[in-house]
Amino acid sequence: MADFERLRNALVRNEMLVEVLHRAREVGPPGWYLTAGCVVQTVWNTLTGRPAAAGIEDYDLFYHDPADLSWAAEDRVIQAVARACEDLPVEVEVRNEARVHLWYEAKFGTPCPPFASTEAAIDAFPAVCSCVGVRLERDGTWHFYAPRGLDDLFALVVRPNPVLAPREVYERKAARWRRRWPELTVLTSR
């Protein structure tokens, strides 16, 4: 619990992340989380004395809706979030994790089984430190998902996740992060 409080304390320093959480809650796609880079990079920025939102290119909002796997259905959610966030000076990237298996192999060269939930998708992120999601519940409580804990995240360690991502994806992401946060310890891929 202390780690999640520490995480929340870091995330609230990024006012844009908090605002996206509030707006995502209002749109409310099923099983949604703000996740990946915007969460990890906010923590790294706060740990290294940078402005909390520095260098964050987009805010990943992932959800899971297997009821309609069409692009049109996903695009309706993308457009709803875009309208909710249109006055914000950031890009919010929305993806239905129930659809990932439809395009993953063509993009990354590795098959991806269908994800049963957003949590299952978070479990498969390329780096252990990025396997983190946060959601703001209707009652205002913060809900966290971090299946591999937060030790690597707070220790500035980038470690390959052995679950799914191809080695090249991990290495590209780790190299990009290392250029921006030279304080990181990047472990070699599997």
Domain ranges in the chain? 2-186
pLDDT higher at 164 or 86: 86
Taking only the tens place, the pLDDT of each residue in 19-59 is 999 999 999 999 999 998 999 999 999 999 999 999 998 99
Mean pLDDT of the chain: 93
Q: Distance (Å, rounded) from C-alpha 134 to C-alpha 119?
A: 11
Percent of the chain whose pLDDT exceeds 70? 97
pTM for the model: 0.92
Q: Distance (Å, rounded) from C-alpha 156 to C-alpha 150?
A: 10
DSSP-derived letter for residue 135 is: E
- Element containing residue 19 per DSSP (H, E): helix 15-27
Residue 173, token pair as written in the block: 């992401």
Taking only the tens place, the pLDDT of each residue in 62-72 is 999 999 999 99
- CA 123, 127, 128, 133 torsion-angle sign: negative
pLDDT at 91: 95
188 exposure class (CB count in 10 Å sphere: 0-12, 13-18, 19+): exposed
Which residues partner with 91 through β-bridges? 58
Q: Distance (Å, rounded) from C-alpha 162 to C-alpha 50?
A: 30
Q: Distance (Å, rounded) from C-alpha 3 to C-alpha 32?
A: 21
